Copies of this chain bind each other. A is one copy, B any other.
Amino acid sequence: MTAILYVCMTCRAGQPLPEGELAPGAQLMAALTVAEVPDGVTLRGVECLSACDHGCTVAVTKPGGWSYVYGRMSPADAPEILRGAGLYAATTDGLVPWRDRPVIFRKQSIARLPPLES
């Protein structure tokens, strides 16, 4: 089942943004875009996930699954973000076994939400 990996592209990670530089969120998106996105994962940029105090921020969501928001991500985390998103996409309910989750997902969770009921 397809999962969406949202990336907050406007994130400044709490820092002033020098003129002409890409926002840290856009840099993270760039690092993810040039990497290999796992099967079942759709990468999508979004403006502001309202987690500005804990940026850069990504989120994974899928129909019928718990959604997760993760913070303090950097471009160097791109491979682990994508690995975690791939594991997430392979579940039906969004619950990846704890031991399998990337360390950055275990330690940098901002919040999760139950599956949306229709």
Residues of A within 8 A of B (CB): 4, 6, 46, 48-51, 57, 59, 61, 63, 67-69, 109-114, 116-118
Contact = CB atoms under 8 A, between A and B. Distances in A.
A76 to B, nearest CB: 22
A116 B51 contact: no
Given A63-B116, A116-B63, A109 B4 contact: no
28 contacts: A4-B117, A6-B113, A46-B114, A48-B112, A49-B111, A49-B112, A50-B68, A50-B109, A50-B110, A50-B112, A51-B110, A51-B111, A51-B112, A57-B111, A59-B111, A59-B113, A61-B116, A63-B116, A63-B118, A67-B116, A69-B69, A69-B111, A69-B113, A110-B110, A110-B111, A111-B111, A113-B113, A116-B116
